[in-house]
Amino acid sequence: MQWETVIGLEIHVQLSTRSKIFSGASVAYGAPPNSQACAVDIALPGVLPVLNRKAVEYAIRFGMAIGATINSPAIFARKNYFYPDLPKGYQISQLEHPIVAGGRIIIRTEDQEKIIHLTRAHLEEDAGKSTHEGFHDKTGIDLNRAGTGLLEIVSEPEMCSSAEAVAYARTLHSLVRWIGICDGNMQEGSFRCDANVSVRPAGSNVLGTRCEIKNLNSFRFLEKAIDYEVTRQIDTLENGGSIIQQTRLYDADRDETRSMRSKEDAHDYRYFPDPDLLPVIISGEWIEQIRSELPELPEGRRNRYIQDLSLSPYDANILTATRELADYFEQTVQLLPEQGKLCANWIMGEVSGRLNKEGLEIDQCPVNPKQLAELLLRITDGTVSGKIAKDVFDSMWQGNGDSADAIIDAKNLRQISDDSEIEKWVDEVLAANQQQVADYRAGKEKAFNFLVGQIMRMSKGKANPAQVNVLLKKRLAV
């Protein structure tokens, strides 16, 4: 039987506010255990939550970026359950009237483009961490993370492969970083995915029973966990079994998912509106202000690069993958408005290649956009060849902010385009390589390239290659 996969994702995005969503404690990562848990975070008797307006602003910013509706009033609700790392015995979250409703994002796999609709995005607080290391038979509790603001982003079940799920997660990851609401650090748990996976006979319009896979903290694990789970579900069904609705955990070491709890064990969370927090009224003016401060979004930039700079969709996608890369490109191309393709090639080629090799991010690039643009300008005006330019780039990378011109001058790398000088080298090379000249004239094209190479070598690479070609052809034709 043919099967099709249905996937919906719930992604927890940690908001990059300075303080927690309901207290003034810092959210900085990596502090000693419980050093960033204030009276509110450890839920002392009598303490009360106070909403961090910045977290609301970030949620609205996200809503604006995906074309969603902002609910006003937005309501906070208590999700009640007992766990040692949940100090109040309830999590402040949202159930009805989440702050963000609807919206959509465009994802791309291979050459396919697809719109994924979002159900909602709501604000909530994170729990603390239980740790077993270093405590014999006991559990340690670190409440530093307790109360950190999260935006839980829930998609419609509209993805039908692990590739689409990964593309969705990547697009969202890029977007939340792009609009500055999350640092996107997956190792530190700033961006965590849960996947709801089900399968059904191809063509069916009834959803199969789903399993939720929790806490997938890398795109690779997301992909592998879904692939494993889809295979497991299909195997189960084809062997006459049925899928039990349950929550599963992905074990990366074994590359499998395992049952954590089934629906019957599910908690009754007894949600109700939190009486300590008033409904959040969000004015139209506030929304408009946030909208007006929104940066140009990746989708808009991508389209502009294709239309105005004639970049291929492929190039435009790569260059808008992160805000930092896109900004780097933007700043470079602003200085060379006619040379979009050249800028793109260099940034995707030399610059990215070198960054990858050295494990650097674009915002750590030793060559800044202005330096790069000046170098590319020297290619376009014929001062240096593309090949020499790579040497100059190399010097720049290792140098300390030297301009392209300074390096070209210091190393005497200026391209030679003077016909008479080039002709001199041509003549010398022809005289010294009679056999190759004869070969060429006998029809061996390869001999021509050899001769060009010799001339370039003689000029120490500085001869204008185009001119070398023309002048050599002219001489050989005589």
**Is 283 or 434 the residue whose CB approaches other proteins more closely?**
283
Other CB atoms closer than 10 Å to residue 131's CB: what's the count? 13
**Is 280 or 379 the residue whose CB approaches other proteins more closely?**
280
Q: Are 153 and 193 in contact (CB under 8 A)?
A: no
**Is 44 or 432 the residue whose CB approaches other proteins more closely?**
44
**Is 23 or 71 the residue whose CB approaches other proteins more closely?**
23
Query: Cα separation of 165 and 146, whole Å?
Result: 29
Provide the minimum distance between the beta carbon of 143 and other proteins in the complex, in angstroms, as a whole number: 8
Following DSSP, what letter does each residue of 50-92 receive, concatenated? ---HHHHHHHHHHHHHTT-EEPSSB--EEEE---TT-TTSEEE
Provide the minimum distance between the beta carbon of 10 and other proteins in the complex, in angstroms, as a whole number: 20
Query: Cα separation of 107 and 163, whole Å?
Result: 10
Provide the minimum distance between the beta carbon of 243 and other proteins in the complex, in angstroms, as a whole number: 23
Q: Are 461 and 444 in contact (CB under 8 A)?
A: no
**Is 13 or 25 the residue whose CB approaches other proteins more closely?**
25
Provide the minimum distance between the beta carbon of 151 and other proteins in the complex, in angstroms, as a whole number: 20
For β-strands 211-216 and 246-251, DSSP reports them as parallel
**Is 83 or 314 the residue whose CB approaches other proteins more closely?**
83
> H/E/C letters for each residue in 170-238?
HHHHHHHHHCCCCCCCCCCCCEEEEEEEEEEECCCCCCCCCEEEEEECCHHHHHHHHHHHHHHHHHHHH
Scored b (16 or more CB within 10 A) or e, 329-351 reads bbebbeebeebbebbbbbbbebb
Cβ neighbours of residue 130 under 8 Å, at least 6 residues apart? 84, 85, 139, 140, 141
Provide the minimum distance between the beta carbon of 271 and other proteins in the complex, in angstroms, as a whole number: 8
Contact positions vs other proteins (CB under 8 A): 39, 42-51, 78, 80, 82, 84, 87-90, 141, 268, 270-272, 275-278
**Is 262 or 364 the residue whose CB approaches other proteins more closely?**
262
| Opening angle at CA 343, ends 338 and 349, nearest 5 | 155
**Is 82 or 206 the residue whose CB approaches other proteins more closely?**
82
**Is 276 or 327 the residue whose CB approaches other proteins more closely?**
276
Look at residues 389, 395, 363 and name the one whose alpha carbon lies nearest to residue 377. 389
**Is 45 or 359 the residue whose CB approaches other proteins more closely?**
45
Provide the minimum distance between the beta carbon of 56 and other proteins in the complex, in angstroms, as a whole number: 13
**Strand partners of residue 312:** none
Q: Are 473 and 466 in contact (CB under 8 A)?
A: no
Query: Cα separation of 8 and 99, whole Å?
Result: 20
Give kind and range of the element (H or E) at residue 310. none
Provide the minimum distance between the beta carbon of 351 and other proteins in the complex, in angstroms, as a whole number: 49
Query: Cα separation of 151 and 444, whole Å?
Result: 67
Give kind and range of the element (H or E) at residue 129. strand 129-131
